[in-house]
Amino acid sequence: MERFSELLDDLYFTNSNLAKEIILTNYLRKTPDPDRGWALAAIAGTLSFDLFKRNLIKTLMMERMDPYLFDMSRDYVGEMSETVALAWPQSPDPVRLNRLPDLHEVIEEFKSRDKAGIREYLITLLDNMAPAQRWALLKLGTRGLRIGMSARSVKLTLAKMKGVDIDVIESIWHGLTPSYTELFAWLEGKAELPDMSDVVTFSPVMLAHPIDEEKDLAAIKPETHIAEWKWDGIRVQISSNGKETKIFSRKGEDISRSFPDLAEAVDFEGVIDGELIVKPGGEVGSFNDLQQRLNKKKPAKSLMARLPAHVIAYDVLEWEGEALRALPLSQRREKLIGVIKSHPESRFEVSEILDFSNIEDLRALREKAARTGGLIEGLMIKALSSAYVSGRPKHAWYKWKRDPFLLDAVLMYARRGTGKRSSFYSDYTFGLWAEDGAILPVGKAYFGFTDEELKLIDNWIRSHKLARFGPVQEVEKELVFEVAFDAVQESKRHKSGYALRFPRINRIRWDKPAAEADKLESLAKLVGA
């Protein structure tokens, strides 16, 4: 556990991605099994505990520390695990350990104990640990490491250790389980690459470049490219070996449990790339509709009936044992059309090819997308000659999203950020004017501004405080943000009656009086635009 704590500490205080890779590589090479594998799982997000929850940590602190003092401390520090690690009051008669357990011993205990046993063991560990070790333990349990390493950066580190392309790691990753002993045996040349022939795995997806209108448009012609709608769903990969089916997100997360109705409809052996949407009443639903089904481990039958899952298929990567990725898109499209026709299941349809003769036609299609109320984000433009390659190959696929909507909104509330932003008010709630003269919240944003602008906003908030609600600070309704967002939907969950899609701060309007900010009726005009 001490080594793991030192690893997280080093990664947290290192900014360079390359330096992080070196730190992780050294740890993996020097640390024996199974500890290194469990550390890898923790960083990559593949480790979880059923009974080790954030609420348990909070409960333990509330039993040992004045709740008001704890709330103030957490607000000041900006993050719960760090607050507990620093402020943990030792038990009156603590159980003393001769040594801190190794990482794998901690994990085994947390996976084998019941709720009461986990509580007891957690108290013992916290009583015997230094603050940095407590922080590592709590981060381990709650899965919120925030050390600047994603699952992909972990896989890239492994690929560099072996001297192979990251696609090799991706091709086996989802067939492996912690503590990854067979993976490390292969990395060290002690075994062959793990055989995944009978396992349904994820293949890294092909992505598009944002189009450069000045440089890229001139090369796009109807004889060399196709155009498709860019639907506002989630990119998925449906993989089936004829016995088992899995639905993966674009990042490779297995989301099959959230969409059992779709998984059960698959009766083929192959890999299809597409956009997952829902179809309430047989029509394409909004992203807000889709969100009701995301992250549901056991969706109710009534929910699945009301919001049935559907896939707009873009591509076919494998079919009945034949690899198709190296074929040009034109041939893969022909295959895809045949595949969907031969499986007339209402859950699938082939993405529509849009007619265009010139660039002006494409511009008109893009403008049409902007009038769908957010259902369509814009256009995908793909070279017919393109093979299916992971990542973003140049001059292959482009995305041409419609311009975001802009509104001037008034800052209402602010909250401290976390991690490196814990000393600043960086999370903002903003609103628009209602007919009765009140300002009603329409969204939250915590990005879109520079570090220098963050400091200026923070100073303004501190000098314009009104009231405090726990960690939330109400401010005078004077500062105007120009907010960019992709779509707006009517919403019964919000007091204003509206929900913004992907709101972000586009500009700080220091010059604009709050009275001149936009009204709610402006959003009403955009619903269905």
> Known catalytic residue: 230?
yes
* Residue 102 near residue 78, CB atoms below 8 Å: no
Q: In b/e form, how buried is each residue of 371-396, taking b as 16+ CB within 10 angstroms?
A: ebebbbbbbbbbbeebbbebeebeeb
Element (H, E) at 61: helix 54-64
51 CB-near residues (< 8 Å, 6+ apart) = 110, 113, 114, 115, 118
How many distinct helices (H) and strands (E) make up the chain? Answer: 19, 19
> Which stretch of DSSP H or E encloses residue 262?
helix 260-265
Specify the amino acid at residue 288: N
C-alpha to C-alpha distance for 422 and 403, rounded to whole angstroms: 32
In the beta sheet, which residues pair with residue 425?
Answer: 416
Q: Which of 20, 155, 230, 382 is catalytic?
A: 230
Q: Are 431 and 438 in contact (CB under 8 A)?
A: no
Q: Are 115 and 49 in contact (CB under 8 A)?
A: no
Q: What residue has token string 């494998």?
A: 318
Strands 376-383 and 348-350: unpaired
Distance CA 509, CA 482 (A): 7
Q: Give the SS3 label for residue 249.
A: strand
Among all chains, which residue has been given the structure tokens 């549901």? Answer: 296
Distance of CA 43 to the CA centre of its chain: 15
Computed from CA positions of residues 514, 520, 522, 523, in that sequence, does the dihedral angle turn out positive or negative? positive
Return the sign of the alpha-carbon dihedral for residues 110, 115, 119, 120.
negative
Per DSSP, what are the bridge partners of residue 235? 275
Catalytic machinery residues: 230
